[in-house]
Amino acid sequence: MKRVIVAWAATVSLVACGEYPQPVVPIPPLTSEIPSASGAAFRAEPGDDSFRASAPKPGDAVKVDAPVPEVFTLRSGIKVYLIERHDLPIVSVRLASKRSGAWYDCNGPTKDCAHPAAGARAFAVAMLEQGTKSYNALQMSDAFEAIGAQHGTWADWDSTGVFIKVTADQLGKGLDLMAEVALRPTFPKAEFDRLRVRRLASARAEKDSLSAMAANAIAHSVFDPGASDHYSLSGSPAELEALKIDQVERAYRDAFTPNLLGFLIAGDVTRAAITPMLEARFAIPRSGFHDKPAQRKSGSGVVRARAIVLVDKPAATQSYVALALLGPDAHTTDRDALALMNVILGGSFSSRVNMNLREKNAYTYGARSRFSMRQWSGLFTVGGNMVADKTGAAVVELLAEFDKIQAEPATESELTDARESILMALPGRMESVMELGSMAADLFIYGYKEDELRTLPDRLAKVTIADIQRVAKQHLNKDLHIVIVGDKAKVLPQLESVKGPRGETLPIAELDPWGKPLQENVK
């Protein structure tokens, strides 16, 4: 025993001194011989670069075989979109409402719109797991953990809801908890107060985020004050301070009514198995609420016609720059052509905007464009974070690309690359049951046909260069808002070079970090 202890102590001493004992088996010398799959050695000859003489042959074309969900309706009126996938014993279930997360739409039986309460519905959905008739917040968390479930809630511009992902053998227990969360929340006052403190902290922190301030400025500038989209999803600090618990409860009741709900289910389950499980747990009576949300108003908001919108962020080393305007909604018949046009303009790394502002001019690490096509309104934006000293120059280049896509036809190469970019991304949308559920949610929320993705390749193939230019002229030739978040002292002198379409000097409106006007004009 003493010898063992002494040997161990000696080893520790060597390690402590930075000296290590030699390995028992010496490390073999390096060799240029690389074993092949057959066991024979392959010798790489120095300087043999002949394989570089020609490009590798392209692989087979990507084949997109998008699933088509089975659609049926429960006795309560709730629609079900089911995508069976039996390769793994996992099931994803979403319960989505067509109500926007922005604020309640005031179209219930009472038509009470006196206090719209921005952020009320997003707050309500966030509270669903914080207490129900049978569970408090901690008990609910423990119950989900006991069955190994992924779970949560969401609120976006077009929908709200709850979701779970469980192994197939735990689906019944998972649906029990989902029904408890969706149908029987109690909105405890203590949890309401706790969550408000957290959301207030997040809202106040937006003044330190260029992108968050830009999103607020864009929403308040582009959308009319009577539109849901004019408001923040989560609410400003002032709106959260004023929020009442009864407004949150009303926002919840307005969303979780059968005619507005849909189940999006993907995974290892059949219709025969899932139907009785849902009927037993979600047998709620039909409601008198409208079958669809009331149409949200759209139109120019704080700023009308072309103008510059500025949010001051003193000492910022970058500026967030965006061109923003009203876009088409999700039901436009031009959405395929618009998707391709957007990829060409700014929707990919090799897009015109990114090649200009990043590769050619080095104003940014990346600039992008996007159409946000929502249920009843739409938004187009293009831009990104720019070097502060190049803010004005970046705006000029963005405006030039904005005009060029309308004036000059795309090339065949650009159109081909755009098609491939969209189609090659599709398989990634179907890798997991959660992603399949998200795909089905788009079909339900926007009312698309069940074979929407399966027919996409053929639809894209029919889009022509003339279509690209037509939709660019039609949908981009509107009131344009130039939104800038940055150091006002640095930015203002640079904006002298930014002119309107007829060479006129543009008005500059200044907003606070949450999109509220500070004054009519800063000049």
Number of domains forming the structure of the chain: 2
Contact 174, 93 (CB under 8 A): yes
The CA distance from 201 to 419, in Å, is 43
Q: State the greatest distance between any 2 C-alpha atoms of the chain, in Å, as a whole number.
A: 95
Say if residue 237 is in the same domain as residue 354.
Answer: no
Same domain? For 221 and 175 the reply is: yes
What was the pLDDT predicted at 116? 57
368 with 490, same domain?
yes
Full-model pTM: 0.83
In the beta sheet, which residues pair with residue 371?
380
- Residue 334 domain-assigned (yes or no): yes
Contacts of 162 (CB under 8 A, 6+ apart): 94, 95, 125, 128, 129, 151, 152, 153, 178, 181, 182
- Residue 79 belongs to domain with CATH number: 3.30.830.10
Question: 352 and 249 share a domain?
Answer: no
Tell me the one-letter amino acid at 229: D
In a domain, 220, yes or no: yes
191 shares its domain with 320: no
| 339/473 same-domain check | yes
Strands (DSSP E) found in 210-336? 261-267, 307-312, 318-327
Confidence (pLDDT) at 46: 61
Note the pLDDT of residue 503. Answer: 86
Tell which of 233, 266, 281 closes a domain: 281
- Considering the domain architecture, whether residues 274 and 325 belong to the same structural domain is answered as no
| Whether residue 331 sits in one domain with residue 275 | no
| Structural tokens at position 4 | 């063992």
Instruction: For residues 100 and 188, state if they share a domain.
Output: yes
Same domain, 333 and 479: yes
Same domain for 398 and 510, yes or no, is yes
Can you give the pLDDT at residue 43? 56
Task: Compute how many other C-beta atoms are within 10 angstroms of the C-beta atom of residue 201.
Answer: 10
Domain termination residue (choose one: 246, 281, 316): 281
| Contact (Cβ atoms closer than 8 angstroms) between residue 342 and residue 372 | no
Residue 349: inside a domain = yes
Q: Which of 235, 264, 281 is the endpoint of a domain?
A: 281
Answer yes or no: is 65 within a domain.
Answer: no
Q: How many separate helices (H) and strands (E) can be counted in the chain?
A: 17, 15
Residue 498 lies in a domain: yes
Residue 84 DSSP SS3:
strand
Question: In whole angstroms, how far apart are CA 299 and each of 115, 143, 288?
Answer: 21, 46, 30
pLDDT value, residue 38:
52
Give residue for tokens 């917040």: 137
* CA angle (395, 383, 385) in 5-degree steps: 90
What range does the domain containing 418 cover? 307-519
24 within domain boundaries: no
Domain assignment present for 475: yes
Please give the chain's pLDDT, 523 residues, in tens.
Answer: 444 444 444 443 433 444 444 545 565 565 555 555 555 555 555 667 787 888 888 777 767 788 999 999 999 989 999 999 999 999 999 999 998 887 654 544 444 454 457 888 999 999 999 999 999 999 999 999 999 999 999 999 999 999 999 999 999 999 999 999 999 999 999 999 999 999 999 999 999 999 999 999 999 999 887 777 888 888 899 989 989 999 899 889 888 988 899 999 999 999 999 999 999 999 876 554 444 444 455 555 666 678 899 999 999 999 999 999 999 999 999 999 999 999 999 999 999 999 999 999 999 999 999 999 998 889 999 999 999 999 999 999 999 999 999 999 999 999 999 999 999 998 888 899 999 999 999 999 999 999 999 999 999 999 999 999 999 999 997 789 999 999 999 999 999 889 888 888 899 999 999 998 886 444 4
Packing angle between helix 245-255 and helix 189-205, nearest 10 degrees?
Answer: 90
Residues 365, 259: one domain? no
3 within some domain: no
